[in-house]
Structures are given as structure tokens and as C-alpha cells.
Amino acid sequence: MSAPPAPHPPPEELEVAEEPPAAAEAGGGVGNDKVLAAAQHIVKSLATSKNAADDMIRILSGFDHRFSSITADLFPSPSPSSGAGSTPPPPPPPRGEFEAAERLIRQWDATPELLVFEGPEGDVADYLEAVDVAVDQLLSGVGAAAAAEAEAAGVVVQLAMARMEEELRHLMVRHAVPLDASGLFCSLRRLSLESMDDLDASSEFDPTTPHSLEGGPDTARSASLAGNPFDDQVFDLVRPEAIDDLRSIAQRMDRAGYASELEQVYCGVRRDLLDECLAVLGVERLSIDEVQRMEWKLLNDKMKKWVHGVKTVVRSLLTGERRICDQVLAVSDELRDECFVESTKGCIMQILNFGDAVAVCSRSPEKLSRILDMYEALAEVIPELKELFFGNSGNDVICDLEGVLERLGDAVKGTLLEFGKVLQQESSRRPMMAGEIHPMTRYVMNYLRLLVVYSDTLDKLLGDDSAGDVDHSDTHRGGDDEEEYLESLSPLGRHLVKLISYLEANLEEKSKLYEDGALQCIFSMNNILYIVQKVKDSELGRILGDHWIRRRRGKIRQNSKNYLRISWTKVLSFLKDDAHGSRRGSGSGSGNSSRIKEKFKNFNLAFDEIYRSQTLWKVPDPQLREELKISISENVIPAYRAFLGRYGSLVDSGRNSGRYIKYTPEDLENQLSDLFEGSLGPANHSRRR
């Protein structure tokens, strides 16, 4: 639909315009008025833009300087209230051009089953041009005479805008790009660290505890790499070929005064599409009550999906949504900001509602790693969201996000507090029969190793307040050095010291369940060594430092000494001379022989008793097991060899000597090698003499 040529001014006005300036001045006031009126009409009739009008006025001013005043009359400066971007109303299109536009718009209105943008490009161009003409006619209505024409144009524009709404809705739905959730998740996983090993927690661990640690938290965790991992990836939510058509519709709806209708259609479509994307990502719309009543296995799965979903939503969906808004709604900064917030608000609220529901759930230790994952995911994307949301409505969204982040942080601290209470209150009374590592020890140390993965976040959340919560029992015993050590630790480090002190106190109480004091020592050594190894072989060692490790190794050595004293002092007492000590061959031979036989007999009985019980005891660590055997051998074998060398002949010469000298030193070495294996040793290593 081509625009008709501009109309020519009437002949009589051209004749006046061509009158020389001097004649115009001589003609008096009437002549001047005619000349100026003619010039104004020429400028108004021929001008299609402010620049063209300026050129015409500049030419006319060359004849008479008074023509320069025309500018103020035809193009007044915008008032302060109209804004810097205000433009004057367009000149009305020629009557025939508007009538042609009206016919075309009404023809399309009569065929609602057809869509303009489904047809040839020529039809699209013609229809858009007709809409422009109708809008020009509507906007150019000035004065009483033009009111009727403006009213007629309003009816036509209304018909056109109704179609524009439908065309916009259809284009946005038809050209929406389906979400490839598997592709997005793979992108996220490639940018994540490997999962940690699952916690080694035994199913035997105190299943009766109200907040049982049984099973342990799933330690799979995604830690984002530095920077925005999606910088080099483009996720088009609408096919690029549709953008120009969508923008052309949006521009005309805004210009015609239908910005609210444009916003309603645009936001409605985009909101529904984003809801579908969330469903594909597995981020469901759940109430707080539904989340709180959910079994842990199912909730754990939904929390993992939420962590992936938040990153995907922000870095692909919302980033892509912002780009679409900026492209389609480029006609108005205010409009595109409002539409972006309005279309994404439901998506954001769905994410926030689940985060809030988790934050107010019961504080059970197995949830901690998942809550930390959620906290870190949200904290990671908030700076990116601040770059997407602008204006007051955008600020409200950011405030809501930061509020949920704070509540998740409170949930982390509350869960840690609950974990400490569980450690203090766990009171299972069944001892480990072989004195081996308690399941609680395994669980807690793997749990603490998990916390270290989140050290930066936990240092921030715990802050310096954790210093006041540390158990200072060791500090009082260690003096100023211990106080200085605690002050040197990070907030997480101090909290770890507190939690391990709870574990150690609990283990000390559990060691008292053993009637055999030697087995108490074995149990304590096994568990303390396990704690030390878990600290030394992980980031826990870096946080707690060598000082902490040395203190625990000292406890292991002390328990080793106590074990030797309790287990072997009595045995070794039978290898010592009595108060009357007898030398070989001195005194009454029969008296000495009886006393020596009794000593050998008692030694054999005591040793056999230790052998029967302590071969069933278990020391899992091979190095500790070997060190204990060496310590026993160094104390027992030399003493036995010396006693046998001094008094063996007194027994060996008699009848039934094998009843008393049951073992050789080599036999004892073989017997001792069976200790602490957790199973009954060979039936008999002895060699009869």
C-alpha cells in the first residue's frame, strides 16, 4: 500500500507566496499576514519531519527574516511534563489513504480464521502500513472539526489492535523453542565438580534416636566454577526469525496507546511458557505443608532438582527472557522492564516458595548438605539476577530472593546446632564387641569432611559467633596455648573443634560400657586414630592444624601405655623372682622347683586367657595393630626368655615338664601375631618340648 503524493497548495496561495518581499511590506498588515499564512501552509503541507520543516523555513528566511518565527508556531518545544522524548502529533494522512487503510483492516477483521503473519510478506507489509495510517489519523485529530475523523479512526485502530493482540499471541506460541532439559542439565554437570563419596554410615547406628543419623546425607554436590559458565552459550527461547515481526507488532500497539494490552498478552504467554519450562526441569509448585510432610528420599531428590533448576532458570531461561524482552519491546524501556518482571514473577515465586518451605522444615542433620547446596546456588545467582531486574518492581524481586537466602542460612545454622545436640544426646548402650570403630565415629567424621567442602560458605554463616560456643574444656587444661590455638581458627574451625569434642566425650562414655579396661583402651585407640586419619587425610587437617593432630596422637600413645599396663602387668609378674628369689642350683631343689613350676603354670594360664579374648578384639588399622604387637613382644618375649633361661632346667628335668613349659619364645611370638585380628587364632602354635 503506497503512500499517495503530497497535495499542492491552492493557486491563489502560490501567487501570494511568490510576491516579492518588498511588495509584501508595501501591502501593509494584511499583506504580511497573507504571506506568513501562505508560508505556514506550505511548511505544514509539505513537511514530513521536523528536519524537512527546518530546511524549508531556512530557505524562506533567506527572503525575509520574519519567516523564522514559523518554527515556534508549527513545532512548539515540549513542555516539561511531556518529557524529553515527546513528539508532536503526526499530520493527518490524506483522506483517500485513510479510507484505503480502513478497507484493508476491515477486510482482515472479517476473516478472523486467517492470520496476517501466516501469509506472504507483501500482505504483512500492507497490513502494517494500513495500521500506521489508521494510527496517524487517530493521533493527528486536533480541534472540533477533526474530532469526528479521530473517532472514526479510533474504531479502525481498535479493530487493528484486536488483531495485533491475536497475531502477537500466535507468533509467540508458535515460535517458542521447546526446552531441552537434558541438554541444560548436561551443561551444568560439565561445569560441576565430581561428587564426593557417600558417607560411610552403618545402618546399626542408633536407629532409636529421634533424629537418627542413619544413612547419612547424600554428599553429591555441584560446585560451580569461577565466572559465568554460560557466557559462551546462547539459549534462544523464541526463534530468531520471529523477533522482527514481534517487535513490529509491539511498536504499533505501544504507539496506538495499547501498551497495557500489549503487556497483558506478552506477559500471559511468556508466563505460561516459563511455567512449562519449570515443569520440565522438575521444579514443582509445592506448598509448605506438602514439603514438610514429604519423605526424606523424595524431598532429597526435589532439593537436588531445585539446585539445578535455579541455575538453569537464571542462566538460560531468565537471561534468554531478558534478551527477548529487550528485543521485542525495544519501543519502551519502562514497558520492557515491567513486562520482564511481570512475566518472570511466577517463575521466581515458585522457586522462592520451595526455598522458603525447606528453610522452615524440621532441622535434621541429613538435610544439611542439600540446604547448603540450595544456599550456595541461590547466593551464586543473585548477582546475576541483579543485572536482569531493574526498577522498583525488580528491586522487590531481589529483596524477596535475599530474604529466602537469609532464611536458608538460618536453616544451615539451625541444622548444625541440631547435629551437635544429636552428638551430645546419642546414648546407645550396646558396645562394639571387638572394640572396633563405632559407626557413629565413621558417620560423624565423614559428615565433618563434607562440611569442609562448604568451608567458605560456613565461615560466612557461622561468623565469629561460633568462638563463644566452643567447648573450652581442653583450653582450661592446655592453658594459654590452647586458647591462642582456638583464636587462630576460622569460624568453621572452631565449630569443628566443638563438634569433635562432643564426639570424643560421647566415645569416652561408650568406652565405659566395656568391663575389661584393656578393651576400653583398644576401643579408644581405634576411634581416636580413625578421627585423626580422617582429619589428616582431608581439608580438615588444613583447618584444624598440626597442633590438634599432635594432641590426639598423644591420647593414642597414652591409651597404648594403659593397655600394656592393664593387660600384661599380671602376666609379667609371673616371670619375676619372688621376694625370696632363688638362683639356679641354690637352696632346696625341690622347693625351688615347685615355686618355678607354679610360676610357669600361672603364666601359661594368664597368657592363654589373653590370647583367647584378644584374638577376638579388632584393631582395623594395620600400622596400629603392628605397633601394639611389637610393644607386647618387646615387653613379654625378653622377660619370658630370661625366666626360661634361669629356671627352665629346674622344670625340664622332671616328669611332665610339658605341662609347665608350654611355650618356647618362638611359640609366644607366633601366638602374639594372632592378636587383634577380630577372629579366633589357630588352635595351637605351641611346640611341645
4 pLDDT above the threshold of 80: no
* pLDDT on residue 79: 35
Q: Which domains does the chain have, with CATH numbers?
A: 95-167 (no CATH), 181-188+233-416 (1.20.1280.170), 422-463+485-566 (no CATH), 568-578+591-674 (1.20.1280.170)
Nearest one of 223, 221, 225 to 196, comparing CA atoms: 221
* pLDDT on residue 143: 47
358 pLDDT above the threshold of 80: yes
163 pLDDT above the threshold of 50: yes
pLDDT in tens, 169-187: 999 999 998 876 665 555 4
How confident is residue 686, by pLDDT bands cut at 50, 70 and 90?
A: very low
19 pLDDT above the threshold of 50: no
Burial class of residue 650 in the structure, from the number of CB atoms within 10 Å of its CB (0-12 exposed, 13-18 middle, 19+ buried)? buried
- Output phi, psi for 569, to 5 deg: -60, -45
* pLDDT on residue 335: 92
Nearest one of 239, 273, 269 to 169, comparing CA atoms: 269
Judge whether 338 and 255 are in contact, CB under 8 Å. no
pLDDT in tens, 651-670: 766 566 667 889 999 999 99
144 pLDDT above the threshold of 60: no
> One-letter amino acid identity for 648?
G
Judge whether 338 and 392 are in contact, CB under 8 Å. no
- Judge if pTM exceeds 0.75: no
Judge whether 614 and 567 are in contact, CB under 8 Å. yes
Which residues, in sequence order, are bridge partners of residue 176?
Answer: 238
CA dist 351 and 404 (Å) reads 10
CA dist 466 and 412 (Å) reads 13
Q: What integer best gives the mean pLDDT of the chain?
A: 79
Nearest one of 350, 363, 364 to 317, comparing CA atoms: 350
Residues 246-275 have a mean pLDDT of 94
Percent of the chain residues topping a pLDDT of 70: 71
Considering only 58-72, 286-300, 429-443, 556-570, which range has the smallest mean pLDDT?
Answer: 58-72
- Output phi, psi for 116, to 5 deg: -60, -45
Considering only 66-70, 207-211, 235-239, 490-494, which range has the smallest mean pLDDT?
Answer: 207-211
**Count of C-beta atoms within a 10 Å radius of residue 353:** 16
pLDDT in tens, 292-335: 899 999 999 999 999 988 988 888 889 989 999 999 999 999 99
Q: Which residue has the higher pLDDT, 483 or 342?
A: 342
**Count of C-beta atoms within a 10 Å radius of residue 46:** 15
Percent of the chain residues topping a pLDDT of 90: 53
Judge whether 347 and 278 are in contact, CB under 8 Å. yes
230 pLDDT above the threshold of 90: no
CA dist 352 and 378 (Å) reads 10
Q: Which residue has the higher pLDDT, 336 or 31?
A: 336
CA dist 665 and 670 (Å) reads 9
